[in-house]
Structure 1
């Protein structure tokens, strides 16, 4: 399995992330900025705070913290799997996106609505669904079902989540992509972006807190001899929304965008729609490459079958030759026996088998001699067991 290994040196990485934004450094390492920040945490490298580069651009002098000495690891090794077709996929996708730029529809800037009454019918149905008793594992309002999209948020952020999802769907519709809410049975609502059917999940990130038992609960557990009370988790709202795009029928998110410290998700919708088209192009390229690989695999299978058939045919010929060699060896032994019979003037006790009879049998066995023996050849083949 082909892999690539990247080594992140602590001092070098420290200089890099304080010389230019983390997002640019991450691209060089072919990793997300979130992933690079996690590596910085593992290596105890301080990361520029929010607004650092804006202050630098404004000409301000900002003191950066020194890289403290540590006793732990100073190098982080990251190994990633590289598919043999990755370079081909990337090259084709970039070329296709470049060719598509002149034909791609204009993505409008849609302002978020302020009321559910101004939203799409789908959003109104989802708002009604959220009023029901369906809850997720965090005991938060949950919406899912045929003709709907998944949504899981705290009560305090349900309105904003619906309005953001509405903003996304209206932006997609404004760009010419069709919204469908009447698919097959149990099928989610989806938007057709080029050849890709995409459905969306709106989710609020949460902060988990383990609630310890009270002294009274601990005392009761001890008195009863078993854990009548157990610790439970409480999930707190973070006001951070995340939208993920899924191909219909798939459980792995193909693209996502979310609130961040520097920008709200409402400001990222237009760029997200552009990314969705790029994803659809990439998905189309992947389908083409997979189809090509299937053709190659089928051709290889056909060639393998052809070679195996040749191999079987040659084996059968070899068996025939070995049989002829065995018959020739038997024929030569009979001829030697015939010579002995002739030199000693011998016959069988019934007078039938003599040197001439043996030579005729040898010629009949010999595959190099065209000889017919009526007494043998006139018998049905199933009795021919010489």
Structure 2
């Protein structure tokens, strides 16, 4: 909403009021509220010696960093006076740009709500310096990791242990468990759930976010250096390496191909201890991506099943049509045969009458049987829908169809009768 009404005439702000507004929200959103562009508002701040947030300030605030802002300086002697400390805005409020409106609309969605919640300094996740009263999964993992052995790459071997997912060295396991402890407690405080899932002797750590399961793991970056042989080797030899643990941890999502951020690592300016809020927000993004992907798969499966049902229905219609055609051809042949038999019987009776054959002659008995046979062939006597005379023709054709004879390009490969 605009800060002032354009119908009420010019509006005034003191330097202190404009200073507070400039450090409360970005220039891109504050400018339209004051009827200016962000560049025009920045020029006014420079004119009245007002410090403004530097580039990247709001991005750092969004991840929970606290940056000290410079104090409001005094005006030069030439600008002092009550009339100079009042800034007058004559322009009417400008509508917000389309991209800003879209961003504000996006902030109203659950992702925007999560982003604002995690960016609030009051909700910052703090990693404890000492692991006291740990989460139940972390506490059980501590006992199990005491039995873990160290692999060649200096990382603990956790396969077969029902503990949190870790690929770290012995020197970094304490910090990794403290990160897990702070993260698990924060997730449960936000209404999520963390469980351990065992499959094929491999235990994975799964976060349940909005009904979706997101796998997580903490890894440590280790360096590998090849040890040169003491003397030149002429044949094959086994290379030897020296491994070194760096202490740099990385939090990864084990689910791949989600098109969202899936890795957070220690860096030169920021480490994982300061990224837990961003990780929690990223888990929500991953859950949304998993849900979208699952819904896309389900939608594609429904479409495939619908297409398959449509194809089968079309095949059934075509199969029934071919069966009806066979029945029709059979009925036509039967009618033609019936008419031919009756024509034969009529012709033979005429010939028998012309020859004055007695009624007890065997030919007359034969003609009576032939006439009965014509009635049995005649489909007009039954007045019913005929059945398919060969309902298994489709399957028999598919099963018993002869394989095509291979082509013979050379003359000696051809049968002797074609030479």
8 Å contact from structure 1 (residues 142, 153) kept in 2: no
The C-alpha deviation readout for 1:67-106, integer Å capped at 9, x for no partner, is xxxxxxxxxxxxxxxxxxxxxxxxxxxx998521476493
Specify the alignment match of 1:277 in structure 2: 284
The 2-side partners of 1:317 and 1:131 are apart by: 77
Specify the alignment match of 1:134 in structure 2: 149
Match of 1:158 among 170, 173, 182: 173
Q: What are structure 1's unaligned runs of at least 5 residues?
A: 1-52, 55-94, 372-386
8 Å contact from structure 2 (residues 154, 244) kept in 1: no
Specify the alignment match of 1:210 in structure 2: 226
Secondary structure (helix, strand or coil) at the match of 2:214 reads strand
Match of 1:315 among 319, 322, 338: 322
The 1-side partners of 2:142 and 2:134 are apart by: 10
The 2-side partners of 1:186 and 1:195 are apart by: 23
Does 1:106 find its partner at 2:106? no
Alignment of 1:147-226 (within 5 A): 147-180=162-195, 188-215=204-231
Give 1:231 shift: 1.7
The C-alpha deviation readout for 1:239-280, integer Å capped at 9, x for no partner, is 321112346xx9999832222455322222211110111221
8 Å contact from structure 1 (residues 147, 189) kept in 2: no
Instruction: Report the aligned-residue RMSD.
Output: 4.1
State the structure with more CA Rg: 2
Alignment of 1:7-156 (within 5 A): 99-101=109-111, 104=114, 106-107=117-118, 108-117=123-132, 119-136=134-151, 138-143=153-158, 147-156=162-171
The 2-side partners of 1:304 and 1:114 are apart by: 64
Give 1:152 shift: 1.4
The 2-side partners of 1:214 and 1:144 are apart by: 35
The 2-side partners of 1:232 and 1:253 are apart by: 38
8 Å contact from structure 2 (residues 227, 242) kept in 1: yes
- Structure 2 length-normalised TM: 0.52
Give 1:204 shift: 0.9
Q: What are structure 2's unaligned runs of at least 5 residues?
A: 1-54, 57-104, 384-419
Give 1:203 shift: 0.8
Q: How many corresponding residue pairs?
A: 269
Does 1:324 find its partner at 2:328? no
The 2-side partners of 1:341 and 1:129 are apart by: 105
The 1-side partners of 2:194 and 2:343 are apart by: 93
- Structure 1 length-normalised TM: 0.56
Secondary structure (helix, strand or coil) at the match of 1:155 reads coil
The 2-side partners of 1:288 and 1:178 are apart by: 22
8 Å contact from structure 1 (residues 112, 164) kept in 2: yes
Give 1:335 shift: 3.3
Alignment of 1:314-353 (within 5 A): 314-345=321-352, 350-353=362-365
The 1-side partners of 2:152 and 2:319 are apart by: 61
The 2-side partners of 1:116 and 1:253 are apart by: 34
Match of 1:368 among 380, 404, 407: 380
Specify the alignment match of 2:70 in structure 1: none
Specify the alignment match of 1:358 in structure 2: 370
Query: Do the aligned partners of residues 121 and 342 (structure 1) sit closer, same or farther apart at CA in structure 2, a change above 3 Å counting?
Result: closer
Give 1:200 shift: 2.3
Does 1:238 find its partner at 2:246? yes
Query: Do the aligned partners of residues 182 and 308 (structure 1) sit closer, same or farther apart at CA in structure 2, a change above 3 Å counting?
Result: closer
Query: Do the aligned partners of residues 327 and 292 (structure 1) sit closer, same or farther apart at CA in structure 2, a change above 3 Å counting?
Result: same
Specify the alignment match of 1:5 in structure 2: none
Give 1:151 shift: 0.9
The C-alpha deviation readout for 1:52-72, integer Å capped at 9, x for no partner, is x99xxxxxxxxxxxxxxxxxx
8 Å contact from structure 1 (residues 149, 188) kept in 2: yes
Secondary structure (helix, strand or coil) at the match of 2:150 reads coil
The 1-side partners of 2:154 and 2:321 are apart by: 71
Specify the alignment match of 2:81 in structure 1: none
The 1-side partners of 2:289 and 2:107 are apart by: 8
